[in-house]
Structure 1
Amino acid sequence: FTRLALGPHLERIGLVPRPGEPRDAMLLRSRLVPALADMGQHDGIRVRAREAADAFLEGDTLGFTSEELRVLVPLASWDGDLVHWQRLHTALLATDRPARRRNLVAALGSFDDPTLAVKTLELVLDGTLRAEEWGAVSGTRPRARDGVWDWVTRNHDALVARLGELRAANLPWIAARFCSEERRMEVEAFFRGLPPQPGRKRNLALALEDVERCSAARETLGEPMRAWLAGLPR
């Protein structure tokens, strides 16, 4: 469905930027590419993402625009392995350039592998990543979500100490993309059992509301949606 709906738009503007193209083409591409690579399993995009990440890490980026690197370098981490994580980590330790660091931090926060996602979060605790970079690495890919949640519950006190109370009040949002009543109850029980913290109560209520909405939508629309998608042309 994603390829049917979005593929023609990418074909129209092209996967690779053209010289002198309008800014709206660049902005549209930056939205289309992640959706098609993820939900659409677009092999061509994933190949170009790996090429972009390799070029970026090797310091030879003449074939890519800065906007392409911003989008593609994190995307290459989705199916990245430990070797790729280590290359990103090594590059992070070596750079003093803010723009390069931003791309590296985003890439380190984009692994599907929960073990590698957790390795990245541990860089916040050991000081390699700054407290203000927590948001860039804690968005969490769906396949890593359970592992990341387990890690957060085990390291909550250390995270609060590292992030400070203001940022730590946002920790309930880690669980906002769960989609079951069982998980909603688990998240609520965990945070309700902690000492009060300014700002957290409201964020928890909003995050739980997101989980509840998703769970209700899945229950109501899941079967009809699967049937509709099954009837689409392949």
Structure 2
Amino acid sequence: MGKLLEQMETVMSRANDIRYFVALSTFTLLLDSVLVYTRNVSVLSISWDYISSSFTLGAALVFLCFFSLFMVFVIPSIMSFITFIVIETRAYKVVDAFGATRKHGRDYLSPFSLSQYALNNCNEVAYQMATKQSVENQEKRQMEKYSFAFVLVSVCNWLVSTESTRTIIDIATHFDYNAGLLSVDTAKCLMLLMVYPALAWIGIAHGCGFTSNYLDGYVYAPEINNRINPPRNEL
């Protein structure tokens, strides 16, 4: 009983993390897309009897391997390719034209440089700042990857939908315009308007370099930076 409560507490704590929601949603949409494309059945219509009679443990393991490969290799490769195009075409300047802020380089240090300074000078506060920023950077990159994957898989899920077997995204984007204001269609519309623009901004705009500042992920430490890199005296 204690282990069960501990597992439930772990699941509930993850439910409060948006990264867990995005990753789980991506997994579900990808599974739905594969099932519709290969077996002409949606994940929404699958029952336990269908699972026990039509699926094997090997097929489940293969899909898990495919999902891992998709998230670890395919998504980062696509994001890196888009980022390369953005840098080569200077597409990020379009965002700069709308007033994107740029920080002053001398006021910021990378977590690595700050941690090296902290170790060399036995500065525990600086080391904690560097460690905290490194964790935040890792979580940020993870969120960008999950968001990009969610948007990409959503598009694929919508494309593989058919008239006979509708996918999750196809059902979610189908609205009855004659429905009242307090209806399921209104709730779906509001949910989509909140989720997709936000995740597209995080995964595409930020994740692919359209709005990235080269100082994003750095630590604001002007005094320490002046000690490491003293400013040159201008004549």
Mark yes or no: TM-score above 0.5.
no
Higher RCO structure, 1 or 2 (CA under 8 Å, sep 6+) = 2
The structure number with the bigger radius of gyration is: 2
- Provide the TM-score with structure 1 as the length reference: 0.25
